[in-house]
Amino acid sequence: MSGRKTANSGFDYMIFVPVVLLMGLGLVAVYSASSQLALDRMGDGYFYLKRQALFCLLGFAVMITAKSIPYTLYSKLAYPLLVISALLLIALLVPGLGHKAGGACRWLRFGGFSFQPSELAKLSLAVYLAYSMAKKGSDMESFSKGLVPHFFVAGVFMALMVLQPDFGTAVIIGFWVLVLLFVGGVRFRHLFSVCVLFSPLVLWLIWRSGYRSGRWATFINPWDDPRGLGFQIIHSFLAFGSGGIFGAGLGNSKQKLFFLPEPHTDFVLSIAAEEIGFVGIVCIVFLFALLIVRGIKVALNAGDLYSTYLAFGLTCLIGLQVLVNMGVVMGLLPTKGLTLPFISYGGSSMIINLLSVGMLLSISSRR
């Protein structure tokens, strides 16, 4: 009886509660950051808030559903998910199917909503890598069995993202895959060889693209082009600086008044920092840290190798997105259009991240 009780213990509330709190903070931050912009563009100051609330409700329903599904089912979907994700990424390259914004074709439109296939691709890779690494077991130490097939599959997805172009997401996925393969048992010298082999290609892709090399130059010194490439990060600095310890108060941000471009998406943390200050940002960081630590604990306590890899992969992916977004808005990393999980405006990111949390809760309830 005791063994059966352990196998179906309650899910981890220390994952569930931080996610719900972050969603609530995100709704407040999105409304505050977007109300004036929505009023100017759409004639409705609640436009982005209403859509984000819908995304949260849909994502929450997906999370609760995923929590109730045995995590072993996802292993059976590993290859179908890969195929579907690859086809959606290829569809972006077909003229007329992909929706272009900001010079990149990263979205598919359905009615009045957009979907970003790269978000599903991340989840598909997490499920595939967990399933394949667990199945190979000790063979992961082999270069031909442990490294080559996994990095080849990830490389196909990364190449499709570079063609959008979405170079930043491809690099993040590449780094994330290397971490997972290292945890899965691939020898360090094999991973180091891959880094040495592909570093010239990464540098060449940065050098040949004017806006990518410009982002690096702006990262080093944004004040060289304060009205151009450095405009966004400089106003992010101003938002953080004017927030001080306790912030200017909810709704009192100045940078959201058409100074900081698209303040409700990638740079929503900057507006939050201006309005709730250092103390508020520390609370947000604490909630993310709690979520990541508990996710790693779920991975360590999982009942089998597959669920361990899956829980760690999903947790690592969320944590990496958080680190990159926070690094970008604070000028610690080059500018990259990556949302802050559970807080930034965006349906694809919200729903896929909540699906990932639902899978984590499913694993935590069957330790």
DSSP structure string for 238-264: HHHHHHTTT-S-TT--STTTTTSSSTT
End residue of a domain, out of 208, 240, 266: 208
DSSP structure string for 22-64: HHHHHHHHHHHHHHHHHHHHHS-TTHHHHHHHHHHHHHHHHHH
List pLDDT tens digits, range 128-173: 999 999 998 888 888 888 889 998 999 999 999 988 888 888 989 9
Residue 325 and residue 269 in contact, taking contact as beta carbons nearer than 8 Å: yes
Residue 4's pLDDT is: 37
Residues of the chain where predicted confidence (pLDDT) is lower than 50: 1-7
Q: Which of 361, 364, 367, 365 shows the shortest CA–CA distance to 64? A: 361
Same-domain check for residues 145 and 185: yes
Same-domain check for residues 89 and 187: yes
Same-domain check for residues 157 and 104: yes
Domain limits at 303?
Answer: 24-68+225-367
Same-domain check for residues 131 and 197: yes
Same-domain check for residues 30 and 111: no
Residue 163 and residue 153 in contact, taking contact as beta carbons nearer than 8 Å: no
Query: How much is the pTM?
Result: 0.91
Residue 342 — φ and ψ, nearest 5°? 70, -5
Same-domain check for residues 271 and 362: yes
Same-domain check for residues 239 and 192: no
Same-domain check for residues 348 and 308: yes
State the virtual CA torsion across 229, 233, 236, 240 in degrees, nearest 10: -150
Query: Residue 197, SS3?
Result: helix
Residue 14's pLDDT is: 92
**Biggest alpha carbon distance in the chain?**
68
- The answer to whether residue 326 sits within a structural domain is yes
- Sheet containing strand 104-110, edge to edge, reads 98-101, 104-110, 113-115
Q: How far from 248 is each of 38, 264, 301, 314, 344, CA to CA, in Å? A: 22, 18, 43, 35, 20
Q: What whole-number distance in Å separates Cα of residue 122 and Cα of residue 126?
A: 6
Same-domain check for residues 144 and 53: no
End residue of a domain, out of 208, 242, 259: 208
End residue of a domain, out of 208, 235, 269: 208
Residue 29 and residue 268 in contact, taking contact as beta carbons nearer than 8 Å: yes
Q: What whole-number distance in Å separates Cα of residue 236 and Cα of residue 35?
A: 18
Strands (E) in the chain, as ranges, are 98-101, 104-110, 113-115
List pLDDT tens digits, range 162-212: 888 888 889 899 999 999 999 998 999 989 988 888 888 888 887 877 667
Residue 1's pLDDT is: 32
- The answer to whether residue 195 sits within a structural domain is yes
Residue 32 and residue 251 in contact, taking contact as beta carbons nearer than 8 Å: yes
Residue 2's pLDDT is: 35
- The answer to whether residue 19 sits within a structural domain is no
Token representation of residue 70: 């045995």
Residue 278's pLDDT is: 95
- The answer to whether residue 322 sits within a structural domain is yes
Same-domain check for residues 201 and 284: no
How many structural domains is the chain composed of? 2
Same-domain check for residues 132 and 51: no
